[in-house]
Amino acid sequence: MTKATESEGLVVVTGASTGVGAATAKELARRGFHVLAGVRRESDGVDLRAPGVEPVILDITDDDHIAALVARIDDDPQGRPLRALVNNAGLPGAGPVEATPLSEWRRIFDVNFFGHLALTQALIPALVRAGGRVVNISSLNGKISLAGYGPYSSSKFALEAMSDALRNELAPYGVDVVVVEPGGIKTAMAGRGTTDLSRLSAGMNQEQTERYGHLMKALPDHIAAFTAAGMTSEAAALGIAKAVTDRKPRTRYILGGAANFLIRASRFLPDRVLDRLTTSDLRKHYPS
């Protein structure tokens, strides 16, 4: 994408209320795009609003919100094309496979996968008309899953698979589909996930507690340590902006040292060796 086309284009960024989404919206506006920044509440958009950043109410699980966004793009006052969709909205989700209720699995998938799918389906016509781009924000956990991370990782694995299919389906029409795989990022999302873990632990039966009690105590510390060692939202936004603007984008962008090491190692290490590596890191946080 050239500077000329950037200055004439729209970009949708979901989950832009805070953190990576907000930083990405501001970075893309700085580069000349007009960003439709999805927020859940009017109050979330107050601090976000700036030249080139237009907050829009967008819950990606709400069909009416999606329809309103499609209408906003189709009826853009300046006739600007949709250059990119950045699927960034997401929920944390940790807990043992056995002990995490199906309702929680469905809640996580509803946002982390089905919401992105619904919005992408709705915006594909506009993206095809413009030769635009889909940028799906996955995770290190979209490539590697470990004990206690099953719900979140599963939703990101699904997003990765959908991205691969969509990339091949839209390539003949000039639409690139790119996946961004960050490692730890210093955001408030990890704290929300820790609160959910406390509720989940309280609802486990005695047998589940005996099986997973040490894991449940280790997960908050492991998540906190991984987050603290991660990059800032602004650094992640630079990587996402590169995925949006590179003239010939890669299919995947890995962000952060830990993600680079583990994702690349997973391509060569046997599963059992990788299991020992990740489990060893997690066990550092088990209670004595």
| Distance separating alpha carbons of residues 248 and 193, to the nearest angstrom | 36
CA dihedral 102, 106, 112, 118 (to 10 degrees): 160
Query: Structure tokens of 208?
Result: 């589940």
Q: Are 11 and 33 in contact (CB under 8 A)?
A: yes
Q: Which amino acid is at 2?
A: T
Q: Could you give the angle at the alpha carbon of 38 between the alpha carbons of 34 and 41, nearest 5°? A: 130
Query: Structure tokens of 65?
Result: 């919100």
Catalytic residue among 152, 173, 253, 286: 152
Active site residue 152: yes
Catalytic site residues? 152
